[in-house]
Amino acid sequence: MFQLARMDAMGKDSLLGKTPRFTDRAHRTVTGGAAFWPLITDTDRAAWHDRQPSPPDHSDSYQSSCCSEFEPNSIIPTRQMSSESLFDELSSLLVECPNTMGLQSFLPQSDLDKAITKESVKDALPFMVRALNGRLPEKVVQNAKKVFAILVIIAKPIAIKDLLAEGIADTHLPLSRGEGEEANVLLSANGAKFKSFSAFKHEATKLTKDFLEKQWLVQAPVMDTAGKHIILDQRCPLPFVEMDPIGAGQYSTVYRTALHASHQQGIKLHDKKHAVAVKEMKKEDAFNQELENLHVIQKIGNPHLMRHFATFKKGPVYYVVFPWAGGGSLKDFWEREDRNPRAPKLVLCALKELHDDSRNIRHGDLKPENILHFGRGCEGILVAADVSVSRVHGHQRTNMRRDPTKSLATTRSYEAPEAGIKQTAARSREYDIWSLGCIFLEFIIWLLYDEKAIDNFTSTRDPLDYPFYKIHEGKSVVHPKVVLAIQYIRDDERCKGSAALNALLSLIEEKLLLADVESRDTAEDVHRKLEEIYKKAEQDPVYLGTDFAPIPNKPLMFRRRASTNLIPSTTAIPE
């Protein structure tokens, strides 16, 4: 994790000698020699003052008459102070964006819009410029807020007049530098050239360099839900105000990240802190495979499959931004809701989610830990997620490390029988049907008994993988303990009183948990049959069942305590 220290370590007068307005995780730096860029430093402040015009000679009759005629109480030194005030305001609004390549800062879009107004632009410009260019502030606000903010930061707001005359706008950013005789010419990606800095003669080189350096302060991207792939310069900050590493695999790290509110459009965030999950990858091949999978999910359009918000390439590093599941995983849901009474509404809710999750499933590693819960209680939805992302949502990961008795199940527990015989075979959609059958059965066990009953049931199967099948004489068969569990559930009076649960159990036994791949139902068939069960249960309370109160004595296999010395390691996130 990032090692954090107060910004005070940078010096009392860091960032212009003022305490900038940051989030509650501000005032920090990244150790290990990470760079700080692009920040505004004391050197910038000194340069800002050096570039200010000398106070005018008040004996100059022309200057005096101009000031008297247009604005008697306004003189250039007053405008200088107003420009400095805007400079200080912009500096104080910078937000830190921590990342693994160093600490960067950005000016949030919402703060930029508030700071750069017609009035503030007018106040930051010398009197004569305003007097002779009456519509200048309006043009800045309409098309060049970012450009003007950069000019204020490098102490040359007056340059906006000629740059606007050349047609510059915020859409031209970021700019680059010309070569040779055009070394002080600003170039846009679309081929536009802006030569205004050349007029400043001996200052031109420094102004050009400073502009290109400070432009990144206003370049943090705005994300939407389109799943765009955005290529960023390494100097461009990401719109994150927190970035806490919470899980790592061989090729990736996942962070719980706070997204700045003004840098997102149309994203339904389930957290007041605008939390998102960010997966960082440094291997191009791994990212390309991830991107291919994401595009497939996006085309399917199933709300119960995890979709990404955006992907970024920033220098040599790749990022994938996902929604953050505040409700954790399905395993977390079972634990959190375990004490709530098993009312018919909860059973109906479970049927609905199982029905929704069965649509267009093709995952390859389905298990409760890879199914995320968005929202609260029955009002939320379940979403099948990428393994490396799902393992770090909620608190399941840390709980399992602290308490090894929390769960015995591993990735292989939910594997289909064909994985045990043909390890190199490609996984078909029917592979996921088996995994669904395992999860559905555990869901019923939770509904009728409790979360501990699931772990106790798991412990009755073969360690260390605890599969739902056995290999007998080279052939796969459903594990005898699974067959016994289904029989116990079928004999439960509450299941007998619920035609819906009985139908679901029959579907699991007869169409999902079948060792023969070809005999399993397709995802479409499962979805259709679950829809029939759910609709009947929704319309007919008797079909759903009315009595789901806990019974005094659970079947022995659901009461047996799990052994703690058979638990596999869960300290890493598989790729």
pLDDT tens track for 103-149? 789 999 999 999 999 999 999 998 888 888 889 999 999 999 999 99
Residue of higher predicted confidence among 573 and 292: 292
pLDDT of the residue at 403: 37
**Lowest mean per-residue pLDDT among 108-122, 152-166, 325-339:** 325-339
Q: Given pLDDT bands bounded at 50, 70 and 90, which one contains residue 369?
A: confident
Q: Given pLDDT bands bounded at 50, 70 and 90, which one contains residue 270?
A: low
Q: Given pLDDT bands bounded at 50, 70 and 90, which one contains residue 164?
A: very high
Tell me the average pLDDT across 218-233.
Answer: 89
pLDDT of the residue at 563: 46
pLDDT tens by residue, 41-86: 666 666 655 665 544 443 343 333 333 333 434 434 444 447 788 9
- The rounded distance, in Å, linking the Cα atoms of 119 and 137 is 8
Q: Residue type at 330?
A: L
Strand pairing class (310-314; 228-232): parallel
Q: Given pLDDT bands bounded at 50, 70 and 90, which one contains residue 434?
A: very high
| Both structure tokens of 173 | 């950013």
Spatial CA neighbour of 468 closest among 524, 512, 405? 512
pLDDT tens by residue, 479-488: 999 999 999 9
Q: Given pLDDT bands bounded at 50, 70 and 90, which one contains residue 30?
A: very low
Tell me the average pLDDT across 88-107.
Answer: 85
| Degrees, nearest 5: CA angle 220-175-85 | 65
> 25 pLDDT exceeds 50?
no
DSSP state of 174: S
Q: Given pLDDT bands bounded at 50, 70 and 90, which one contains residue 261?
A: confident
- The rounded distance, in Å, linking the Cα atoms of 525 and 504 is 13
pLDDT tens by residue, 344-362: 888 888 877 776 655 545 5
What is the spatial order of strands in the sheet that 240-248 belongs to?
A: 228-232, 310-314, 317-323, 275-281, 252-259, 240-248
* DSSP secondary structure letters along 494-532: HHHT-HHHHHHHHHIIIIIS-SSGGGSPPHHHHHHHHHH
CB-CB contact of 344 with 548 (8 Å): yes
Longest dimension (CA), the chain: 108
Tell me the average pLDDT across 229-257.
Answer: 87
Residue of higher predicted confidence among 10 and 544: 544
This prediction has a pTM of 0.69
pLDDT of the residue at 542: 93
Q: Given pLDDT bands bounded at 50, 70 and 90, which one contains residue 287?
A: very high
pLDDT of the residue at 533: 93
Tell me the average pLDDT across 195-206.
Answer: 88
Q: Is 122 annotated as a binding residue?
A: no
Residue 280 bridge partners (DSSP):
253, 319
Domains of the chain, CATH where assigned: 7-218 (no CATH), 228-323 (3.30.200.20), 330-566 (1.10.510.10)
